[in-house]
């Protein structure tokens, strides 16, 4: 004689497997359709992007002194790694200006290239300025420092900037170039160092010391 099916009868094995899989499938769907997850906190920051006609002649990629490497260096070390800033870096170091830079908010440095100094000072003039006229040298150098870290595009958008010696300079885009104080062009902009932006320029700014001699170029 047949008996009615019991309501507590154990379901077939494949039915139990589907019931176990259902929560896992639901979690998977929720993960795919939910809010995007935050990127890992240790994700590498984007590599600094420098721009200007001189950049192609300076270290790139994995070369020593490349922009990514410099971004993690203190400003005094970063300046030493940029091959065309040997004169400017030596002047900052010998004058002590680097130790007096504003702290907390960072700085932007308008760094004249070696060629810019060569075009403005004779070798004797420059040596005399470095060794005998420290106050004039400091005044000259502070005319190349702006409080706060500023991208070159931000400076262009502002139109003017005040250097820490109290001088206001104009900054404007003229065709493919960016002109500063109607005297210098940015030739490789937006290097980064710790709390610092560095823009290499092709002329010396500020009030020139009395030892400057435009007609007598420095020896190479």
Question: Given this model, what pLDDT does residue 175 score?
Answer: 87
Q: In the CATH hierarchy, which top-level class contains the domain 67-201?
A: mainly beta
Please write the tens of the pLDDT for every residue from 177-189: 999 999 999 999 9
The rounded distance, in Å, linking the Cα atoms of 172 and 157 is: 8
The rounded distance, in Å, linking the Cα atoms of 169 and 159 is: 9
Q: Write down the pTM of the prediction.
A: 0.77
Of residues 77 and 217, the one with the higher pLDDT is: 77
Please write the tens of the pLDDT for every residue from 9-45: 455 554 444 454 444 444 444 444 444 445 554 555 6
**Spans of all domains in the chain:** 67-201
Orientation of helix 123-132 relative to helix 86-95, angle to 10°: 20
């Amino acid at each position: 004689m047949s008996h009615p099916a019991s309501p507590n009868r154990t379901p077939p094995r494949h039915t139990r497997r589907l019931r176990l899989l259902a929560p896992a499938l639901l979690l998977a769907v929720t993960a795919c359709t939910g809010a995007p997850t935050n990127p890992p906190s240790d994700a590498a920051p984007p590599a600094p992007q420098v721009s200007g006609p001189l950049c192609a002649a300076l270290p790139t990629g994995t070369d020593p002194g490349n922009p990514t490497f410099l971004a993690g260096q203190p400003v005094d070390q970063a300046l030493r790694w940029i091959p065309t800033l040997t004169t400017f870096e030596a002047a900052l170091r010998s004058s002590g200006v680097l130790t007096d830079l504003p702290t907390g908010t960072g700085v932007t440095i308008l760094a004249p290239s070696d060629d810019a100094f060569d075009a403005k000072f004779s070798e004797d003039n420059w040596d005399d300025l470095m060794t005998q006229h420290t106050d004039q040298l400091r005044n000259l150098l502070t005319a190349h420092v702006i409080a706060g870290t500023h991208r070159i595009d931000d400076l262009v958008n502002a139109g003017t900037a005040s250097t820490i010696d109290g001088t206001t300079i104009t900054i404007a885009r003229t065709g493919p170039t960016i002109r500063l104080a109607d005297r210098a062009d940015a030739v490789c902009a937006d290097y980064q160092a710790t709390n610092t932006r560095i823009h290499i320029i092709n002329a010396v700014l500020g009030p020139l010391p009395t030892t400057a001699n435009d007609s007598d170029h420095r020896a190479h």
